[in-house]
Structure 1
Amino acid sequence: MATPAHRVQASLPPALADTGKIAWRRAAYARRALLLLAVLLQTATATYFMLSVLPYNGGNWIEVGMAALFAILFCWISVGFWIGVFGYLIRHTGGDPHSLMRQQDAATLAATPMARTAIIMPIYNEQIGECLGRLKAVYLSLQATGQLEHFDFYILSDTREADIWLDEQAAWASLARELGAERRLYYRRRPLNQNYKSGNVGDFLRRWGKDYPYMVVLDADSLMSGTALVMMVQLMQRHPRVGILQSSPSLLNGQSVFARVQQFSNQLYGPLFTTGLAAFQLGEAAFWGHNAILRTQPFMRYCGLRKLPGWGLFRGPILSHDFVEAAYIGRAGHEVWLEPELPHSYEESPPTLVEELTRDKRWAKGNLQHLWLMLRSRRLKLAHRMAFLNGIMSYAASPLWLAFLILATIAAARMVIWPIDYFPDPYQLHPVWPEWEPLRALALILVTFSLLFIPKFLAVFDTISHERSRSFGGLLRLPVSMLLEMLISALLAPIRMLSHSRFVLEALFNVQLKWAGQNRSGESGWLEAIINQAFGTLLALSWIAFAYWIDPMFFLWSLPVAIPLIFAAPVFVILSRTQAGQRLRRWGLLTIPEEVNGSQLLHDVNHNPIQHRPHGKLSAFETAIIDPRLNALHRAQARHLAGDLRRQRLQVLAEQCWAEGAQSLSVSERSLLAKDAPSLAWLHRQVWQASADSHWGRLLRRA
């Protein structure tokens, strides 16, 4: 009997499907050629103008280096500018006719049969109550669509510490009972967490991949509506060549000032840039690792990631796997699409700049690894190689900018410290009178800033023209919020530059990273911020002192970069404050549509939490031993660890735990006991036979 996927695939004539494929490829080639031409002309003009600003017009190695770095950075900015402009034009001409959403009408899409789909959420040391609260909101939203029967949920844990994963199991069981989803909501903690998140997903696929035509990947902070999930499955059903369909997640639920700035910026400017990006990528888009649906069989067949065979940074497991998986599935002949028009796809911003930079440290190393794949992998699509380059430049732009500032400082110092060379060319007949051109430099800076800010103003025009300004606080508050966002972004740019430059250097020297869960809540303390930014502050103070000694004018030019670095610690602390963030919300500043218009998903996350509660004064490990229901649950999830030596060690540890309490064991020892069902059963029996004045007897009274 044919599955729904087979029926839909058969309903699409091959000739018609081929015509659609040729159409979008022609459009992609034409658009990319136009983008390349615009960027190169713009960059060449700006670089020529830059040379005219320099004292020797590019006549020495310092100025040549400055011009080269400027060209690379200006090209990088120019690409973003044209993507934003193109996105604005598409949104104001009725949308992109080549996008997946517009290749069939709404009625046809709604009538498309569904197929069995797994929704997986890999987690590692997460705050499980908040994490499963988001998953609960997704479940309830799917239930409201009437299509829940086609979906199963999998929580895939890589957590190592017993007190955390025992709490995960308890929370999962509580949520499954609450939703009546015992046969639809599953939990697995794999015994060996190799290869990070991609290894966790691979473990799921080896066990259950054959049971599901499609798989939706969510992060621990992901949130998607049932409508979006159903539409994604239906789009995959109607387009059998699509291997990955990536939604465009918006940020929401930010509490701190930093998170609110991030989500305001994302929701106001994001639609233009994602629309433009999708229009240039079309069927050769990137995969962002979450809030996306994957066709399981080709993903399993083509997206296995081997370890890099090189040296240093380029040896070992691939850290940023998502772009690589998109490139591999594209190489196999499948399409990868970014669809900005899919509704209600969300994630959360890191609450503080400290947490963002901690995440960026991992991402920087992972993205720089792509340089090996970009240059060495065979038969990859050019668009996916460019996606690798885009990810690399996201971090490499910072040390390039820093190098430009260093060369500019050296060039300015030469004019003061070293004798002026009027005859830099030994064969020239007339002297060269070196002279800075401050007015031309100012004009060049204004042009560069216009490339950064024009797309933002276009985003505001787009919001107003689509009558969405009320969703961002109204016509009066929207400009104020925008100015506040631009001010904070300007303060953060030098801080990110210096931090990313350090991350790139550490990655190139293959400094080992610690794999840890993300802190998705909390504020930055003063001591933490001061220690974190002490080097940058001292460096900026030294730089502007040297700049003032060289030339007061150069000192003034250095202030926009130096001041944010000098006051980085207060910036860190103030932006992390949730009270200040909520005050801005009450004032109607930095608001987003979900806060103004309401959102059932957001309401469920904040006002309909899971029923699981923390264990009070007891640890999760102690509760797992004492509580009869939880002890039975954890024993059912545990194993019978084999081997005579291991059994002897487990017995010694169990007796020590019984005699001296759980605190006498190390983290690894508690984990070993918690993984062994006989040990949990023995401890449970012993505890309930304990005398009232014993250690475990006292804990029983507190439980």
Structure 2
Amino acid sequence: MSVAEIIARANLTPSDKLERPGVGWLVAQLVLTLLGAACISTIFAVNLVEWTGASLVALVLIGLGGIWVSGGAATSVLGLLQRRTAPVSPPKDWRPLEKTAVLVLLCEEDARPLARYLSGLHRMLNDQGCDQATNIFVLSDTSDPNRIDAEESVLAPLIASGTVTYRRRANNIGRKPGNIADWFTEHSSDYGFMLVLDADSRMSASRIMSLIYRLESKPRLGLLQAGMTLLPGRSHFGRHQRVASRLLSQNFGRGLAAWSGEAGNYWGHNAIMRISAFRSAKQLPVLSGPAPFGGPPLSHDFIEAAWIRRAGWAIELDPETWGSAEDGPQTLAEFHKRDRRWCQGNLQHIRLITEPGLDVVSRLHLASGIASYLAAPVWLALVLLVATGAVRVEGALPYLVVTAIILLPKLCALSHWMKRARTFARRRLVLRASFVELLLSTLIAPVMMLRQSGSVLSVLAGQDCGWKSPGRARLRIWRGVPEVAFGAALVGLAFLTEPASSALWLLPVALPMLSAPILLGWLDRGAR
């Protein structure tokens, strides 16, 4: 079957065909981002009480912070403007032309849920008649002897039945990228595509078949990243993350897919790649010098996407979340443990963003990852400048404008879901979920700002977090105490310097910090 016949039979929309997309959405994204940042900066400048050296510093900071929040708002607006199309499904009589390796990466994690999932996945692939076109590999980097015994025992029936091929490395050189590179060297010649999953990733057989079909339909497509949602949470924090993901990710993903075009990104899992395309990213650069800015890139996925794109392959994001999920951290401590590694990995990209030959959109993805962590200390510095009275802003308008732009992605997502909710009961459910998500996000945001600022400062101070395996972060007796101390100092400074205005506008930041022990305890409830 020719590519043209495949496309015709699938009734693909124009955006799914093989033409290179224009730059219209990218230009719209940049224009909206700059307009939003300019609006924030102008209103802030107009409402300054006096011009000082601290005011100039604050103006630079508000411009940087404005670019970050306006970029997210612009992407959400673009997502709302996208025409929704039906998911691409293979014809009933279609069978893959090339074999696909499903690579599942496992490292020091409980293998029991994974074994149950892989058993079911193999059965579903068999029911669809595609089991001969897919092979499941479990690639382990587990090194703890007790975990190795448990892992091998749990997976033994699947290995014996031929459901999975299991390989554990004795030497974990290169961590996850090295694990995939080792498999690639030994087995890639037998396969046309490879699908990458983490141990806590979940994809349905139907979604996997859809991704394979999309890749076969587009010879220039080197990597297709699937959108994803979160598995049901066990704690209040886990459930909050899942609700936020379900509400916000689809609309935001559509906007991101629109302006990324054929220079999309890779999130490390729940993505399918063409074997011939991945060869250009198999050997990642090793940064000179010591960690945290030197050594192997911790956030390798962005780099792999940029390298594949540089080699001339298209990379696309399929923002639909059906049949694609992952598990999330169930406590803020676990979230911060993972986030600290991501922070270091994204800041390492500062050294790679000027790499010759990269697509301009790939550079934007790298810049966005860097800005996502630098935004926290930028906003924290602005809060301190206002709290100490070094910078005085008159009136409520600057705060209201910033708040409105921050809320715009949530409003766009709400609009997206309200259009899909056909009954009053469903609309009421969407409204209630959106309100609760907004309330909890508002309470958590100051805590996250403080913790991410600490992560950035620790990286800048030269502290290496290493590549820590996933695991339960221990709860500490002093949980929330640093936030309480910071919140109390913030309120005290504000009342001493500007009691009538600064203290009032700092309360949305200070109050969640002051209540951090109660808040964190409630969020972690139910985690096991």
Which range, TM-score by smaller chain? Answer: over 0.9
Return closer, same or farther for 1:436/1:363 CA change in 2, 3 Å cut-off.
Answer: closer
Q: Where does residue 219 of structure 2 map in the other structure?
A: 240
Query: What is the CA-CA distance between 1:454 and the residue it aligns to?
Result: 3.1
- Which sections of structure 2, spanning at least 5 residues, go unmatched? 9-13
Instruction: Choose the corresponding residue for 1:458, options 400, 403, 412.
Output: 412
Return closer, same or farther for 1:110/1:278 CA change in 2, 3 Å cut-off.
Answer: farther
Hey, what's the Cα distance between the residues in 2 that align with 1:568 and 1:505?
Answer: 21
Structure index of larger Rg: 1
Query: What is the CA-CA distance between 1:519 and the residue it aligns to?
Result: 3.0
Return closer, same or farther for 1:286/1:469 CA change in 2, 3 Å cut-off.
Answer: farther
Q: In 2, are the aligned partners of 1:209 and 1:297 still within 8 Å (CA)?
A: no
Return closer, same or farther for 1:469/1:321 CA change in 2, 3 Å cut-off.
Answer: farther
Q: Where does residue 516 of structure 2 map in the other structure?
A: 568
Q: Where does residue 535 of structure 1 map in the other structure?
A: 482
Q: Where does residue 548 of structure 1 map in the other structure?
A: 495
Hey, what's the Cα distance between the residues in 2 that align with 1:445 and 1:299?
Answer: 46
Hey, what's the Cα distance between the residues in 2 that align with 1:349 and 1:466?
Answer: 26
Q: How does 1:70-469 map to 2 (within 5 A)?
A: 70-90=62-82, 93-95=83-85, 106=89, 111=94, 113-177=96-160, 181-182=161-162, 184-310=163-289, 312-341=291-320, 343-375=322-354, 377-410=355-388, 412=389, 436-438=393-395, 442-467=396-421
Per-residue displacement from partner, 1:652-694 (whole Å, max 9, x unpaired)? Answer: xxxxxxxxxxxxxxxxxxxxxxxxxxxxxxxxxxxxxxxxxxx
1:511 aligns with 2:463: yes
Q: Where does residue 601 of structure 1 map in the other structure?
A: none
1:499 aligns with 2:499: no
Q: In 2, are the aligned partners of 1:109 and 1:235 still within 8 Å (CA)?
A: no
Hey, what's the Cα distance between the residues in 2 that align with 1:20 and 1:83?
Answer: 18
Instruction: Choose the corresponding residue for 1:34, options 4, 28, 34.
Output: 28
Hey, what's the Cα distance between the residues in 2 that align with 1:542 and 1:536?
Answer: 10
Partner of 1:327, secondary structure, is helix
Aligned length: 522
1:49 aligns with 2:32: no
Return closer, same or farther for 1:164/1:311 CA change in 2, 3 Å cut-off.
Answer: closer
Query: What is the CA-CA distance between 1:413 and the residue it aligns to?
Result: 5.2
Q: In 2, are the aligned partners of 1:544 and 1:555 still within 8 Å (CA)?
A: yes
Hey, what's the Cα distance between the residues in 1 that align with 2:521 and 2:293?
Answer: 36
Hey, what's the Cα distance between the residues in 2 that align with 1:469 and 1:372?
Answer: 51
Per-residue displacement from partner, 1:344-365 (whole Å, max 9, x unpaired)? Answer: 1111121111111110000000
Q: In 1, are the aligned partners of 2:384 and 2:490 still within 8 Å (CA)?
A: no
Return closer, same or farther for 1:35/1:137 CA change in 2, 3 Å cut-off.
Answer: same
> What amino acid sits opposite 1:488 in the alignment?
L
Query: What is the CA-CA distance between 1:469 and the residue it aligns to?
Result: 7.0
Instruction: Choose the corresponding residue for 1:577, options 491, 516, 525.
Output: 525
Partner of 1:336, secondary structure, is strand
Hey, what's the Cα distance between the residues in 2 that align with 1:545 and 1:117?
Answer: 61
Q: In 1, are the aligned partners of 2:480 and 2:520 still within 8 Å (CA)?
A: no
Query: What is the CA-CA distance between 1:457 and the residue it aligns to?
Result: 2.8
Partner of 1:223, secondary structure, is strand
Per-residue displacement from partner, 1:249-270 (whole Å, max 9, x unpaired)? Answer: 1112212111111111111121
> What amino acid sits opposite 2:441 in the alignment?
S
Query: What is the CA-CA distance between 1:480 and the residue it aligns to?
Result: 2.3
Query: What is the CA-CA distance between 1:409 and the residue it aligns to?
Result: 2.9
- CA RMSD after TM alignment: 2.7
Q: Which range moves more in the overlay, 165-174 or 319-328?
A: 165-174
> What amino acid sits opposite 2:416 in the alignment?
D
Per-residue displacement from partner, 1:233-284 (whole Å, max 9, x unpaired)? Answer: 1111111111111000111221211111111111112110001100111110
> What amino acid sits opposite 1:55 in the alignment?
V
Identity of aligned residues (%): 30
Q: In 2, are the aligned partners of 1:125 and 1:516 still within 8 Å (CA)?
A: no
Q: In 1, are the aligned partners of 2:291 and 2:464 still within 8 Å (CA)?
A: no
Partner of 2:509, secondary structure, is helix
Per-residue displacement from partner, 1:361-391 (whole Å, max 9, x unpaired)? Answer: 000000111110002x110000000000111
> What amino acid sits opposite 1:172 in the alignment?
L
Partner of 1:316, secondary structure, is coil
Q: In 2, are the aligned partners of 1:287 and 1:323 still within 8 Å (CA)?
A: yes
Query: What is the CA-CA distance between 1:544 and the residue it aligns to?
Result: 1.1
Partner of 1:187, secondary structure, is strand
Query: What is the CA-CA distance between 1:67 and the residue it aligns to?
Result: 1.0
Q: In 2, are the aligned partners of 1:246 and 1:291 still within 8 Å (CA)?
A: yes
Hey, what's the Cα distance between the residues in 2 that align with 1:85 and 1:540?
Answer: 34
> What amino acid sits opposite 1:547 in the alignment?
A
> What amino acid sits opposite 1:209 in the alignment?
S
Q: In 2, are the aligned partners of 1:128 and 1:171 still within 8 Å (CA)?
A: yes
- Which sections of structure 1, spanning at least 5 residues, go unmatched? 14-18, 415-434, 582-703
Partner of 1:510, secondary structure, is coil
> What amino acid sits opposite 1:88 in the alignment?
L
> What amino acid sits opposite 1:382 in the alignment?
V
Q: In 2, are the aligned partners of 1:210 and 1:297 still within 8 Å (CA)?
A: no
Per-residue displacement from partner, 1:129-157 (whole Å, max 9, x unpaired)? Answer: 12322333332332332212211111111
Return closer, same or farther for 1:391/1:413 CA change in 2, 3 Å cut-off.
Answer: closer
Return closer, same or farther for 1:281/1:61 CA change in 2, 3 Å cut-off.
Answer: same
Higher helix share: 1
Query: What is the CA-CA distance between 1:311 and the residue it aligns to?
Result: 5.3
Q: In 1, are the aligned partners of 2:18 and 2:218 still within 8 Å (CA)?
A: no
Query: What is the CA-CA distance between 1:41 and the residue it aligns to?
Result: 2.4
**TM-score, structure 2 length as denominator?**
0.92
Q: In 2, are the aligned partners of 1:78 and 1:451 still within 8 Å (CA)?
A: yes
> What amino acid sits opposite 1:505 in the alignment?
L
Hey, what's the Cα distance between the residues in 2 that align with 1:445 and 1:24?
Answer: 44
Return closer, same or farther for 1:110/1:31 CA change in 2, 3 Å cut-off.
Answer: farther
Q: In 2, are the aligned partners of 1:114 and 1:234 still within 8 Å (CA)?
A: no
Per-residue displacement from partner, 1:10-56 (whole Å, max 9, x unpaired)? Answer: 9899xxxxx989985452x1211122222222322321111111111
> What amino acid sits opposite 1:39 in the alignment?
T
Per-residue displacement from partner, 1:564-616 (whole Å, max 9, x unpaired)? Answer: 1122222121111129x9xxxxxxxxxxxxxxxxxxxxxxxxxxxxxxxxxxx
Hey, what's the Cα distance between the residues in 1 that align with 2:482 and 2:288?
Answer: 35
